[in-house]
Amino acid sequence: MTPTTPSASPAISTPGRAAASEARKRRIRDAALSLFSQFGLRGASLDAIADQAGVSKTNLLYYFPSKEKLYISVLQQILNTWLEPIRAIDANQTPEAAIRHYIRIKVELSRDHEQSSRLFCLEMIQGAPLLKEELQHDLRALVEEKSKVIEGWIAHGSLLPVDPHHLIYLLWGATQHYADFAVQIDAISGKTLSDPDFFEATVDNIQRIVLGGLLSR
Amino acid sequence: MTPTTPSASPAISTPGRAAASEARKRRIRDAALSLFSQFGLRGASLDAIADQAGVSKTNLLYYFPSKEKLYISVLQQILNTWLEPIRAIDANQTPEAAIRHYIRIKVELSRDHEQSSRLFCLEMIQGAPLLKEELQHDLRALVEEKSKVIEGWIAHGSLLPVDPHHLIYLLWGATQHYADFAVQIDAISGKTLSDPDFFEATVDNIQRIVLGGLLSR
DNA sequence: GTCTATACAAAGATAGAC
DNA sequence: GTCTATCTTTGTATAGAC
């Protein structure tokens, strides 16, 4: 069995090695995400991570020189995924379309990346020792930029007056709650986002409350 | 120095002892809440808890026979505080007054019991191994009861149609976010709920969005 | 009730053979 | 690159003196 594509040249620096190495790293990172998101940095053991990844602990430490390096590597990957939806907000959209779309995307994230959401939440709860810097620069600038867009909509009269920061926090809180508190929601409603009907009902209700409110006028 | 109230009878089973014992237990529980809420059950060490409580580790283990017993003791205390606000929802209120009040109380909880909120969140993220039972019985029944109240308001026409469960989840998510993600909010807005103006702005904006929505009709 | 000493296990990390 | 063996630290918990 040759794990790589057959090549004519005999030996110019090991063909599929790098790929295999990357694959193994990915397996380790996946296992790490799974356990860190459940038990946190301190609570998850390298033993358990190595075990779940199907490698030996020593081998894990060959690819990631320390537990903290591995943790940071996992966190970095998450942050990018996390900032994408808010980047998509654009002044040329109508506020209704933009917010409607944003809510759907975020609930999709809660459904498809539950573990990432939880690890991010864990890191925040601990005071974000490893992310604070990036929050204060990148994320802050991003939120500031999108707040301007929201204020534009308000000035134009297409959105009722609201503090853009608090609107963003409400959207974050409401949507991420379905990932981080999935157990509680399951205990009460008997449903999770993996149920298509429940997913649609979630999106629809958040959209309706945020956009239309609860009181008839 | 007599630490207890002077008593005529000389020695009927040590007067202020029980109180002193309770006080020490409370100090330990407080320290435990502080550290468990930061690092979780596994991540917090008895060394650190004892240190913060100002007692020796051996002494801590005299009052709480094991780490897990201590953890459970802390969690139990939280759950009661947590269910109170939703109990107050009452069919005789107008929906506007009830929801307005509920939002304020919950944001107050996020401000005054940040650590409890975080420990609760941690427990949920981990799958609530120690709380699942209670969620499925007590909390579920409570939410069901209050959902009926909300449905009554909708049938009466004083509230626009919404799924009561999703409304409750949105309120939980939006309000607790200010406790659990306080670091992130501070990084972006430069404010926390301990700032009275920011607190009021938070309450006001959530109330406005949830009750009135964002679109003019 | 509180302390010192200690047993005992888990966990992160390294050395060195293959 | 991967493994076995091992070092070292940390952490939970108990024994027994005072």
- The CATH number of whichever domain residue B145 belongs to comes to 1.10.357.10
Q: Among candidates B57, B56, B51, which has minimal Cα distance to B34?
A: B51
The CATH number of the domain where A24 resides is what?
A: 1.10.10.60
Residue B194 forms part of a structural domain: yes
- B4 within a domain of the structure (yes/no): no
B25 touches strand D (CB under 7 A): no
Contact between A126 and A40 under an 8 Å Cβ cutoff? The reply is yes
Read off the pTM: 0.93
| A42 and A117 assigned to the same domain | no
The pLDDT assigned to B10 comes to: 37
Residue–nucleotide distance: A39 CA to D11 C1' (Å): 17
Q: Which residues of chain B have pLDDT under 70?
A: 1-15
Query: Are B113 and B193 within one domain?
Result: yes
B134 three-state secondary structure: helix
Question: Does A99 share its domain with A200?
Answer: yes
Does A207 map to a domain?
yes
B89 shares a domain with B24:
no
The answer on B39 and B125 residing in a single domain is no
Check residue A79 and give its pLDDT.
87
Residue A162: closest C-alpha in chain B: B205
SS3 B189: helix
Domain with B43 in it: 19-65
For residue A188, the model assigns a pLDDT of 98
Question: Looking at the domain assignment, is residue A129 inside a domain?
Answer: yes
Chain A positions in Cβ-Cβ contact with residue B37 (cut-off 8 Å): 125
| Residue A135 shares a structural domain with residue A52 | no
Burial class, A213, CB count within 10 angstroms (exposed 0-12 / middle 13-18 / buried 19+): buried
Let me know whether B132 and B81 are in one domain.
Answer: yes
Q: Which of residues 22-81 of A touch strand C (CB under 7 A)?
A: 44-48, 57-58, 61, 65-68
Residue numbers in A near B139 (CB within 8 A) = 184, 187-188
CA atoms of B181 and B133, how far apart (whole Å): 27
Q: Are B129 and B208 contained in the same domain?
A: yes
Residue A206 CA to residue B190 CA, distance in Å, equals 27
Total count of domains within chain B:
2
Provide the number of CB pairs (under 8 Å) joining chain A to chain B. Answer: 210
Tell me which chain B residue has its CA closest to the CA of residue A216: B160
Indicate if B52 and B131 belong to the same structural domain: no
Give a yes or no: residue B190 inside a domain: yes
Domain end (from B65, B88, B119): B65
Per-residue pLDDT of chain A (217 residues; tens, 9 = 90+): 334 334 333 333 566 888 999 999 999 999 999 999 999 999 999 999 999 999 999 999 999 999 999 999 999 999 888 889 999 999 999 999 999 999 999 999 999 999 999 999 999 999 999 899 989 999 999 999 999 999 999 999 999 999 999 999 999 999 999 999 999 999 999 999 999 999 999 999 999 999 999 999 7
